[in-house]
Amino acid sequence: MESKEDFVKKQIIDASKTVFKNYGFKKATMDHIAKASGKGRSTLYYYFKNKNEVFEAFVKNEYESRILETSKKVSSNFTIKENLSKYRKIKLEHLIKLSETYKYLLSDLKENTSFLFQLLYEIRAEEVSIIENCLRWAIEKEEITPVPETDLNFLALAIVTATDSLEKEIFLYQRYSNDMFDRLDWINQLIIKGLQH
């Protein structure tokens, strides 16, 4: 059951989405967030020291929703091709939606990309874990060549890192085309071919 503190924190994070959408990062203030959440400034500062902390919670919340959706969609019942396609499709659709929703925020983040990507780097271990599971399932089904356990994490990290560069292009620079899903499937096929017997 959700505690009162978690509930209030969630209300603040949800309200911050509207604030960051309307004002971007630079122009958003703690006053905007307090007003949008219906909380007093003292309540806001009880949970978050500053706007950066609210933003960090906002990014983690957006990221966690994507991770949760991905966890539900990939399965040991699917092939490695199906799992990687689902993973990339969910990621791409989520990024396109974010880039269309948070236009003001994006222009601010373009000026300080290291802040966002350092934050994403710290929380992407869950994404790497999902890809590790997909690789393990494929090895168990003999779809791909067995990989030593010590290399499995590195391989999953490499796959996630490859999509992270696409993430930067899509989210920050809105560089995506109508055939992006096909292109990502092509990348999936190349990765899978390289992993097969």
The predicted-structure confidence for 13-61, as pLDDT tens digits, reads as follows 999 999 999 998 889 999 999 999 999 999 999 999 999 899 889 988 8
* Residue 170 token pair: 């899509």
> What is the Cα–Cα distance from 97 to 171, expressed in whole angstroms?
9
Residue/partner pairs of 180-185 with CB below 8 Å, 24 or more apart: 180/92, 181/88, 181/89, 181/92, 184/85, 184/88, 184/89, 184/92, 185/85, 185/88
Token pair belonging to 86: 């689902």
Does residue 172 carry a pLDDT above 70?
no
Give residue 38's Cα distance to chain centre: 28
Query: pLDDT digit string (tens) for 99-109?
Result: 788 877 777 77
Say yes or no to pLDDT of 144 above 70.
yes
